[in-house]
Amino acid sequence: MQLTEIRVAGFAEQGVILLAKMIAKAISGVKGYHAIMTQDFNQDFGGLCSTQVVVSDQPVYYHHVSNPDILVAMSQEAYDMFFPELRPGGLVIIEEELVRVTGTPEGARVYGIPAMRLAEEASNRAVLNIVMLGFFGAVAGVLQRESLRKSVENSVPSASLDLNLKAFDQGYDYGLQHLPPRLLKVLAFNFVQPK
């Protein structure tokens, strides 16, 4: 059984839950894969929000994430709280202007994006999570670009679809531009095919 644990965390108003839902939705749309998502959030506006996505090639019966393979940290508090749980050799994706990296587990790979700035350039800070989704897609290399774009199309209101797709493309393209060339070749063979 192949199992991958993903944790997405940040401030509540950053769209953390929608980001994780889109990842889970995109994975669930791939033949032979199953995903389950759970969420945990602080009642206070702006408080810490965390979501967990468990992915497997078999039905998922246990949804608790204990040692994520991938951590998406969109705030310093999220990074500080969940970084110690990262599996050795795991992948960390950060909003580089909001998170300062301190120490890394053995073999961990850390990639950052100025997602807030890119969202503002797309004319709306509210698409920060969509920029992060695009970056996640490029850096994690677990799904085809079109699978994630389709998830965006099925998750956002039609009135803001163009803005969200532009934000997704910004994040994805930024990821491709900032990955080491060797890693790009490896990722080309890891894409999960859509149904």
Q: What is the pLDDT of residues 83-135, one digit of tens each?
A: 999 998 899 999 999 999 987 667 888 999 999 999 998 778 889 999 999 99
Mean pLDDT, the chain, whole residue set: 85
**pLDDT beyond 50 at 187:** no
Report how far residue 132's alpha carbon sits from residue 95's, in angstroms, rounded to the nearest whole number. Answer: 8
Q: What is the pLDDT of residues 127-179, one digit of tens each?
A: 999 999 999 999 988 888 999 999 999 999 999 999 999 999 999 999 999 87
Domains of the chain by residue range: 3-187
- According to DSSP, the residues that pair with 83 across neighbouring strands are none
| Number of alpha carbons in the 13 Å side-chain half-sphere of residue 30 | 25
Rg of the chain (C-alpha set): 15
Q: At a CB cut-off of 8 Å and minimum separation 6, what does 156 contact?
A: 130, 164
Q: What is the pLDDT of residues 68-92, one digit of tens each?
A: 999 999 999 999 999 999 998 899 9
> In terms of DSSP H, where are the helices of the chain?
16-28, 76-82, 115-121, 128-140, 145-153, 161-178, 181-187
CATH superfamily, domain 3-187, is Pyruvate-ferredoxin oxidoreductase, PFOR, domain III (3.40.920.10)
